[in-house]
Structure 1
Amino acid sequence: MLRFTLALMLAAAVALVLGLSGWRRDAAPTRAAGPSAASVQAALAAQRGRAHAPAGAQDDSLRDTAVDGALTLNAAGKAVPDRAMRRLFDYFLTRLGERSPAEIRDDLRRHLQPRVGAAVLAQVLAWFDAYVALERESAALDTGSDLRADLERRRELRRRRLGATVAQAWYGEEERRLEHAIARQALLHDRRLTPAQRAVRLRELDVAYGLDADPTRTESDAVALAMRQSAQFEAQGAAPERRYAEREATFGPEAAQRLAELDQRRAQWNRRVAAYRAGRERVLADRSLDAAQRQVRLAALLAPFDARERLRIEALTRDDPGR
């Protein structure tokens, strides 16, 4: 059952494995700690209205959709930077690629303005700006073979950009679960332990992280291991045959096939990025084009990429000549 479940979960992990995760939407909001017992949901939670759709936007991806996410106000009437707020940001950022970051920010402002006071609005927009800057910077971080080092780099970046309180509220739970998965994999591969010792250590670890009742734990650990193994294969330039054989032995044939498909998609992504860069260089070097013509050509080069991919493209090409 585990191997079948893993094969299905790998399909959902495609974006993360490829480094295209951009904006991630959480399954459910988490209430803020501390004064949350006295907190109340702001009007946004009760008024899950329609997103502001720009005039004439026939292809608007948020057209006729209900706003996802909400604001939480504490007893003092101040906004709480919780997971529900992050989901609200992610909802509006779905338009990335259709609209500029400045236009998306204005959409969010117009959605919030009738519902909250000026001070709350200013604070939420400041958090939105910080979130956009952080996710753009995070998208530029490569995934290496050391999953723990990758986690620490992202953890440090989040706290440096957001501060410890906001970073913990927005990312703390997923960091904790990934840290737990990494620790479990280390125990599973520690050959110094007997099976009985390993079982005891695993139970102790689960209890320490408060995840002993998590029914998805084993599958999540397997996905984390698959990601780390894939990163190692990439760093080593391992042949497809070797990759398939090792994956089949660890996860079974269905998962091995899924991971082989991920490898193909990663290679395809790299070719698309290379083609975009080459096309962009040609457009910028063409002296016969005026500014408007150049912008049209550049927009056409980006057209095949979706919103998340465009975020990644922007991060990858930020330092390219002509940026």
Structure 2
Amino acid sequence: MKNYWSFFMALLVVFSACDTKIVDKKRSTNNIIIPNEEVFQSISLLGDSLFTKIDSSSQSMQIKNLQEAEKQYMEDPTLENLIWIGRREAYLSRYDLAIRTFTKAVNEFPEAFEPLRHRGHRYISIRKLDEAIKDFQNAADLMRGAPIQIEQDGMPNKLNIPLSNVQFNVWYHLGLAHFLKGEWDEALEAYKNCMEVSVNDDLKIATLDWYYMTLQKLGRNVEAKDLLSQVSSDLEIIENDAYFKRLLMYKGEYQPEKLLNVDTQASDQKLQYVTQGYGLGNFYLSKGDTTMAQSIFQNVINTGYWSAFGYIASEMELSKLKNE
């Protein structure tokens, strides 16, 4: 514990420098976070190196939030406070640090499923899909029979209402990890379980979208079409508008060409473009138009938003198309 306390103290020193807008060009003793320096994170499914670069100006609020999380943990070293450090590190795209923090939580709280849920999520971010699947499966075993546990938002929605729960996030991300590996049957089973804990329209829409695409990958198009009967234009969607539009497009109620009518230069719109872009590319792929699909997947990759699920899925599709 002594070494880890030193670790957090070192972080506070580094972040204090950020507050005064003085960028320390020297490497910290713990090699933690140096603003404006690129840090390697992973290799993409297409073989590209992926880096994180923290901007001490545009991300100053996220840095301060991480500082506060570290301070709260030092004052009260609970599982929840430790997880918040990892979540704040991940919001800065320092998945290497987040995974290390979640691993500490897994080791210190072996009966808890929450840190496994979060570490698995970030294993997906760095394309370690087998490790992610193992974490989610272990989390599923540990959470069996537990009541639905609402998960507080680190980046609140427009109504500041937390919508997701830990159980949903375990099954949803387990399905995604299998999907990204092309393990359609396993993904389908996870999404069936996810539907049982999708307790509001936003969660249902997110699950139905991947559930639908998984059925299509399996060639079960009639079942996929039947699934769309649960989608109607009068659903109250707060967060998952991109998934909602994708589903309406599958139903023929939203024009495909409208799906990418998004300003990719706006930071708050880039994620929506990536999410909708993958759905649109997959739509054309299901129709047999591989040329259009490949073009759209490549446009998603060109955004550089490499941590988004739509981006990773586009990598997966392009990799398969190139190997055919």
TM range (shorter): 0.3 to 0.5
Q: If the length of structure 1 is used for normalisation, what is the TM-score? A: 0.34
Tell me which structure has the larger Cα radius of gyration. Answer: 1
Q: If the length of structure 2 is used for normalisation, what is the TM-score? A: 0.34
Return the structure number with greater relative CO, CA threshold 8 A, min gap 6: 1
